[in-house]
Structures are given as C-alpha cells and as structure tokens.
Amino acid sequence: MNSFAQTKDSASFSFSLQQSIKYALENQKDVKNAIIDEQIAQQKVNEIMGMGLPQISSSFDLRNFVELPTSLIPADFFGGPPGTFAAVKFGTKYNATAGIDASQLIFSGDYFLGVKASKTFVEISKKSTERTKIEAASTISKAYYTVLVNQERMQLMDATIVRIKKTMEDTKALLDNGFVEKLDYDRLIVTYNNLMTEREKVDRLLQLGVYLLKYQMGMDIYANLILTDKLTDIKLEVLSDAATQKFDYEKRVEYSLFDSQYKLAKLDLKRQRFSYLPTAFAYGSVSGAAQRNEFDIFDTDKQWYPTGVIGAKVTLPIFTGFQRHYKNQQAKLSVLKAENNVDFIKKSIDLELASATSILKNAAMSLENQKKNIAIAEEVVRVSKLKYEQGVGSNLEMITAETSLKEAQTNYFNALFDALVAKIDFDKANGNLK
C-alpha cells in the first residue's frame, strides 16, 4: 500500500519495487510517448478505413471575365471569304458554378489489404509499447536495488564506525593511563578518519542513486521517496534451466515484434499480387451554372442551369513497364528477410536464456561465498579485539582484521548488486519481467 502526502514543498512517497514500476509506467516520458505512438497508429488505421467510405465534396466557382474570351470561327458562316476566320466574343461577364461530387470505392485490392496491414501495424505499435514498459521495469528495478544496496552498505558502515570509535575511546583511556603506545591510538584515528571519508562518499552515492531512481520513474527529484522493500525478501534461485527446457518464444515481446513484421511482409506481398486486379468505383455529381452580365448571381428570380451525372469506372493496368513485377519480387525478398529475422531472434533468445541462467547461477554462488567471507572476517575481528583487550594481541592485528572485514563487506556488496542485476536480466530473458 503506497502512501502519499502533499507537503508545503514537495510530495512524499513510500514505494515498493512494484509500486515504483507502476508509477514509472504512468509517468515516465518514454512510456507515455510509446502510448501516444500507439494511439497515433490507431488513428492511422481509422484514416485508411475512411478511404472505403463515401467521399463527398462540394465546390463553388465564381468568375468575373474582365475581358471575355475570343473565339475564331470560319468567316464563311457570316458570308465572309472562305478560308478566313472571324474573331467573336461569346459568354457573359459573370459565371458561377456550384456542385456536389460523390464517389464510392467498390473494389480495390490495395485498400482491403491496406486495412489488414494497418491493423498489424497497430499490433506492432502495441508490442513496442510493451517492450518500452519492460525496459522501464528493468531500469527501475536496477536503480531501486542500487539504492537498497547502498542503504545496507551505509548501515554496516555505521556499525563499523561505532565499533571503531568505541575501540578508539577505550584505547585513549589506556593511553592516558600508560598501558598502550600513542602509535596504537594513532592507527585507530587513521582507520576512523578513513571510514568517515568513505561514509561520506557512500552517502553521496546513495543520494545520487535516489535522484536517479526518481528521474527514471518520472518523479520530481526533490520529492521524498522511501523504499519499502528489503534485500532479505529477494530470492535469487534459478527456477528454470534454459539449456534443457523448451522455451515459449511468445513470452518474449521481441519475438512477437519480429513475427508481426513477418506477417506485415506477407501482407505486402499479397498486396503486390492484388495490384494485377482491377479497381472499381462509382461516382456522381450534381451542379448548377449561372451566367449573368450583371453581378446578380444570387438573385433567386433568375435561372440556374442544372447538370447531373452518375457513373462507374473500372481501371485495369495492362502494362506498367514491368514495375508491378519488380515490386512483387521486392516483396518476396522482404518476406525472406523477415523469415531470417524471426529465425535470428529465436537463436538470440536461446543464447540470452543460456547466458542469463549461467550468469545468475555464478552470481548467486559468488554471493554465498562472500556471505561466508564476511562471517569469517567478523569472527576474526571479534577474536582479535578480544585478544587485544586481554593484552595478548596487538593493535596492528586488530586493525588488519578490521581492514579485512571492510574489504569483505565491499566484495559482498559488489556480489550482491551483481546478483540482483543478474536476477533482473534472468527474469527479462524468460519473459517474466513486467
């Protein structure tokens, strides 16, 4: 359950990983644009389908002949010399024509297959949106885990600083009473100062990680974000083996994208073959014309001369310079190319599954080893500190143990982050990252 509170300066959120992903899918720029692209694709389908609906248009043409056109007619019509022409002006100064035209597509192979192809294009757009969401989930997961790892690193570092500070205070008391050398105390001061410097670095990295997470989520970077998931709740087991199990490629959106592109290529091939078929449409128009010597076009007492026509037209290309043949060949080659892409993506998925499985197994094994190393290093620190307090161990031995513990912790956190990233990549390869 995510909590939301509006403060005077900024908002406050408490999010699990899944809630962070959900927030990103609603607010991240790439996801929002992908959804808009999907809507654009749907509107493109509507546009193409509109080509099959009746097309109606109207027109109005008004002409003012500043100079009436001149026509040449045989002069012998008027008793003139044969073989000569007389220049005569016909018509009126003002002419107007108003009309309505309508047409309806009856049959077109390009149109019907174009509608199918546009719907496939919408499918591709939807799958592209899904892929964008998966990429967003992967990015958010890695950023989220980065913050969790740095938070745990800070907790362990704070515990180490408290322990070193206590030892330093005890050593100072022993120094004041002459039981230890100043060198022992100075070594602890150096160790403490180094830890404080490293803590400041980790703290800055932690803040930067939180900023990056909020940025990738599409959240105001100045908002207060609290992560509610715990690293202890994350399971890193490999639940399936890509090398031995038959994978359902439909689970991967990348395969679906290539498969849709293959379908689109086949539709284009069919469209090219349909180009040999005729195209038929019906049409009709009604218009009226007015001719005046005075500008009284809209005078209802004067007559307009109507014209009406209906008809049908069938066109059939006979020879186009072999263009249709070459377009058909190009479409066939595009289908072969799409088939190759589908085969390639299958092999790529197989390789990605095998690789992700192996990397996760190795990362989980390395993490377990680093956990054991930390336990051993902690025991060494405990024993060396006890020996030092009892006067049978050296200050240098205790500091060396602390340094080894710090190194073991660093290795552990690196292994932990690698394992978390490997788990994300494994889930993504298996099509389980949503």
Would you say residue 103 has pLDDT above 80? yes
Of residues 141 and 79, more confidence is placed in 141
d(CA 409, CA 364): 16
Average pLDDT taken over every residue of the chain: 89
List % helix, strand, coil for the chain (3-state, nearest 5): 60, 15, 20
- What are the start-end ranges of the E strands in 218-303? 224-227, 279-292
Backbone angles phi, psi at 46, to 5 degrees: -60, -35
What is the b/e burial string over 384-395, where b = at least 16 CB atoms within 10 angstroms of the residue's CB?
A: bbeebeeeebeb
Which neighbouring-strand residues pair with 292?
94
434 lies in a domain?
no
Would you say residue 339 has pLDDT above 50? yes
Q: What is the CATH number for 348?
A: 1.20.1600.10
The whole domain housing 155 covers 3-68+107-279+321-429
d(CA 111, CA 274): 10
| Confidence class for position 294, pLDDT limits 50, 70, 90 | confident
364 lies in a domain?
yes
Would you say residue 48 has pLDDT above 70? yes
What pLDDT digit, counting tens, does each position of 212-244 carry?
A: 999 999 999 999 999 999 988 887 766 555 444
The predicted pLDDT at position 239 comes to: 56
Return the percentage of the chain with pLDDT > 70, whole number: 96
93 lies in a domain?
no
CA angle 210-216-217, nearest 5°? Answer: 90
- For 172-203, the DSSP string reads HHHHHTTSS-HHHHHHHHHHHHHHHHHHHHHH
Kindly compute the dihedral angle of the four CA atoms of residues 297, 299, 303, 306, in this order, to the nearest 10 degrees. 60
What pLDDT digit, counting tens, does each position of 104-128 carry?
A: 999 888 888 888 888 888 999 999 9
155 lies in a domain?
yes
Which neighbouring-strand residues pair with 304?
none
The predicted pLDDT at position 307 comes to: 93
CA-based torsion, 103, 105, 110, 116: positive or negative: positive
Which neighbouring-strand residues pair with 74?
85
292 lies in a domain?
no
The predicted pLDDT at position 394 comes to: 86
CA angle 333-334-337, nearest 5°? Answer: 90
Nearest to 430 by CA among 254, 233, 229, 216: 254
Backbone angles phi, psi at 68, to 5 degrees: -65, 145
What is the 8-class DSSP label of residue 220? -
Number of domains observed in the structure of the chain: 1
**Mean pLDDT (whole number) for 40-68:** 91
d(CA 339, CA 336): 5
The predicted pLDDT at position 238 comes to: 61
At residue 129, what is the residue type?
Answer: T
What pLDDT digit, counting tens, does each position of 82-95 carry?
A: 878 888 888 888 89
Burial bucket for residue 185 (CB in 10 Å: 0-12, 13-18, 19+): middle
What pLDDT digit, counting tens, does each position of 168-194 carry?
A: 998 899 888 888 889 989 999 999 999
With beta carbons less than 8 A apart as the criterion, state whether 35 and 129 touch. Answer: yes
337 lies in a domain?
yes
The predicted pLDDT at position 80 comes to: 76
Would you say residue 35 has pLDDT above 90? yes
Which neighbouring-strand residues pair with 314?
280
311 lies in a domain?
no
98 lies in a domain?
no
What's the distance, CA 90 to chain centroid? 67
The predicted pLDDT at position 257 comes to: 93
What pLDDT digit, counting tens, does each position of 390-425 carry?
A: 888 888 898 999 999 999 999 999 999 999 999 999
Report pTM: 0.81
Both tokens of 334, joined, read 């595009």
What's the distance, CA 160 to chain centroid? 43
What pLDDT digit, counting tens, does each position of 311-338 carry?
A: 999 998 888 888 888 989 999 999 999 9
**In the block, which residue shows the tokens 């009436």?**
68
Kindly compute the dihedral angle of the four CA atoms of residues 404, 409, 410, 415, in this order, to the nearest 10 degrees. 130
d(CA 271, CA 265): 10
Of residues 72 and 421, more confidence is placed in 421
Burial bucket for residue 42 (CB in 10 Å: 0-12, 13-18, 19+): middle
